[in-house]
Structure 1
Amino acid sequence: MLQALMNLFSICWKPFRHDGEKSEGNSVLGGGGAREGEDGLLWFRDIGKYGSGDFSMAVVQANQVLEDQCQIESGPFGTFVGVYDGHGGPDAARYVCDHLFRNFQAISAESRGVVTTETIQRAFCQTEEGFTALVSELWSTQPEVATMGSCCLVGVIYRQTLFVANLGDSRVVLGKKVGNTGGIAAIQLSTEHNANNEAIRQELKELHPNDPQIVVPKHGVWRVKGIIQVSRSIGDVYMKHAQYNREPINEKFRVPEPINMPILSANPTIISHALQPSDSFLIFASDGLWEHLTDEKAVDIVHGHPRAGSAKRLVKAALQEAARKREMRYSDLRKIGKKVRRHFHDDITVIVLFLNQDLISRGSVQDPPISIRSALDH
């Protein structure tokens, strides 16, 4: 029933294919002349229009069930971009994709469309509360939902300001023109919440001074309570509320000590950035991309090629690097099916927004509005 409702409320984009056409490498012109299609486990939308310019979008699957979700919403309020990297299962990322923008839209409507950091903060809070209520509702029948969570990276372009809000370790990088040199600089705009970062480990130790095991190394990486790498997320309620840190959830998720305060946080880091004429494009991506590409490499790839296919190009560059690290050919990696593919790379989601300064300075709005969502059922 829950899944049926989620599917009903979701506006999904899927590559259109005529009967009898091959899916391998196939692409067709979608709405507005945007080329979209699929190439094995890679889905893409090469180019499209949003309120402040062009965009490119791509997703590649590695898990048995795709755990990444993403969306672009553009209308009178401006533009909203979300990249949601799920873990433990797809349910949290799907819930966020269904509800975070809706909550943001309703809250901003209360202030006649004005967007502030508080607007975004409240939308995150409502989404966390809604998912926690869902876990409570499903506890007797689907307790595993309590162990699912999602990193959340959101960008909002409102008038001439970009707001970036983040939970977890997805990342947005700005490609900025360097004077009149023709060069481009890579500037990371988001703050990542991963226990491998020393600053995050220090933050956790300060928040939990009486817990010497708040972060411990396991399998070569630092993990919160030896379980999870990210310190902030939507969901993961078993590490936030004591009533879910017990049977029947799997023992590997249960924290041995009593939970007197939330171990993980759903409070995003939010920054605002005044858009400048030299700001060329933004790359929003889940950590699966940044595992294999540096900020500078990603920005150079976008800058050095045509706009169409930018997101797909970044995904393929990451996959080529993942193959190289395992001393195999990219063509051989492409033949590996989902689930087994997860041993080589993560699900990867990329959205590239190209910034049209004329549209931004004029305060243009998207008419008609666009709503593009990643597919739920891969």
Structure 2
Amino acid sequence: MLGPLLRLLSACGGVWPTSPAPGAAASSSASSGDDSEGRDGLLWWRDLARCHAGDVSVAVAQANQVLEDQCRLDSAPSIGTVVGVFDGHGGPDAARFACDHLVPNLREASSGPRGVTADAIREAFLATEEGFLALVSSLWEAQPDIATAGTCCLVGVVHNRTLFVANLGDSRAVLGKKAGRAGQIAAEQLSSEHNANQEAVRQELMAQHPDDAQIVALKHGVWRVRGLIQVGV
């Protein structure tokens, strides 16, 4: 099942940002060529980049005044192929930080003899979180609003013919595969969402914060995680 996906992704390299370079002219259609990209209003895309076993493309629809979301694609022998999607909340700061630091942290965590493992990915996530917390602390006096920013992190890693999927937050990874003789595409969910609307997640959060009876709060019919500094939210 993972063979075609592995061959396709492992042939692609580089880092793709989710916004064009400053001053880039908007375009109603992308120009020809594998590296072409275009923009139409709040929609930005990069056309198909050809790999030896297929194509990869990226598209982003901006839903906020400032683009809060980021994505990244890296490929190197030491870490395989890494695809990351970072959904920003309350501003772009956390998503940009995670986009810039998660892959370097994964390289560091997987530099040992075992290489890329589930534990190495967890270590990279933890190092990224600790790094952002340190940034918030250093900017607290000058930029306190950064403490209200957050991000969901969805990462897929293909290394040594193994697919790893890591999800932190309310994101979902779906694998499309052919099903049946008709060749129809079936969607298989590879990750579970971490959403406070789920009873199990609320119980987990309350167990992790026994001193905060209001760590989750029901607002407008939706369960939300109450930030410790957002007392009035």
Q: How high is the TM-score relative to the length of structure 1?
A: 0.52
Say yes or no: does 1:25 pair with 2:37: no
Say yes or no: does 1:224 pair with 2:201: no
Aligned pair in 2 of structure 1 residues 16, 222: CA closer, same or farther (>3 Å)? Answer: closer
Q: How does 1:71-220 map to 2 (within 5 A)?
A: 71-76=72-77, 77-111=79-113, 114-208=115-209, 212-220=213-221
Q: Match of 1:25, as an amino acid?
A: S
Aligned to 1:39: 40
Q: SS at 1:163's partner residue?
A: strand
For each residue in 1:44-79, what CA deviation from the matched residue of structure 2 results, as whole angstroms up to 9, or x when unmatched? Answer: 112114687421211111211110001111122310
How large is the RMSD of aligned CA atoms in angstroms?
2.8
Say yes or no: does 1:254 pair with 2:231: yes
Q: Distance in 2 between matches of 1:155 and 1:109?
A: 18
Q: SS at 2:123's partner residue?
A: helix
Q: SS at 1:200's partner residue?
A: helix
Q: Match of 2:67, as an amino acid?
A: L
The answer to whether the Cα contact below 8 Å between 2:27 and 2:38 also exists between their aligned partners in 1 is: no
Aligned pair in 2 of structure 1 residues 173, 141: CA closer, same or farther (>3 Å)? Answer: same
The answer to whether the Cα contact below 8 Å between 1:88 and 1:149 also exists between their aligned partners in 2 is: yes
The answer to whether the Cα contact below 8 Å between 2:44 and 2:59 also exists between their aligned partners in 1 is: yes
The answer to whether the Cα contact below 8 Å between 2:30 and 2:47 also exists between their aligned partners in 1 is: no
C-alpha displacement of 1:141: 0.6
Q: Match of 2:189, as an amino acid?
A: Q
For each residue in 1:10-63, what CA deviation from the matched residue of structure 2 results, as whole angstroms up to 9, or x when unmatched? Answer: 9746558999x7x34131245xx2432111110011211468742121111121
Query: More helix per residue: 1 or 2?
Result: 1
Aligned pair in 2 of structure 1 residues 47, 11: CA closer, same or farther (>3 Å)? Answer: closer
Aligned to 2:58: 57
Stretches of structure 1 lacking an aligned partner (at least 5 in a row)? 1-9, 226-237, 240-244, 246-252, 257-378
Aligned pair in 2 of structure 1 residues 121, 140: CA closer, same or farther (>3 Å)? Answer: same
The total of aligned residue pairs comes to 218
Q: How high is the TM-score relative to the length of structure 2?
A: 0.82
Aligned pair in 2 of structure 1 residues 52, 224: CA closer, same or farther (>3 Å)? Answer: farther
For each residue in 1:244-272, what CA deviation from the matched residue of structure 2 results, as whole angstroms up to 9, or x when unmatched? Answer: x3xxxxxxx1379xxxxxxxxxxxxxxxx
The answer to whether the Cα contact below 8 Å between 2:88 and 2:94 also exists between their aligned partners in 1 is: yes
The answer to whether the Cα contact below 8 Å between 1:172 and 1:190 also exists between their aligned partners in 2 is: yes
Aligned to 2:68: 67
Select the structure with the greater relative contact order (CA < 8 A; seq sep ≥ 6): 1
The answer to whether the Cα contact below 8 Å between 1:153 and 1:165 also exists between their aligned partners in 2 is: yes
The answer to whether the Cα contact below 8 Å between 1:51 and 1:75 also exists between their aligned partners in 2 is: no
**Sequence identity percentage:** 57
Aligned pair in 2 of structure 1 residues 37, 15: CA closer, same or farther (>3 Å)? Answer: farther
C-alpha displacement of 1:216: 2.7
Q: SS at 1:109's partner residue?
A: coil
Q: Match of 1:85, as an amino acid?
A: D
Q: Distance in 2 between matches of 1:139 and 1:17?
A: 28
Aligned pair in 2 of structure 1 residues 15, 211: CA closer, same or farther (>3 Å)? Answer: closer
Q: Distance in 2 between matches of 1:51 and 1:201?
A: 45
C-alpha displacement of 1:211: 5.1
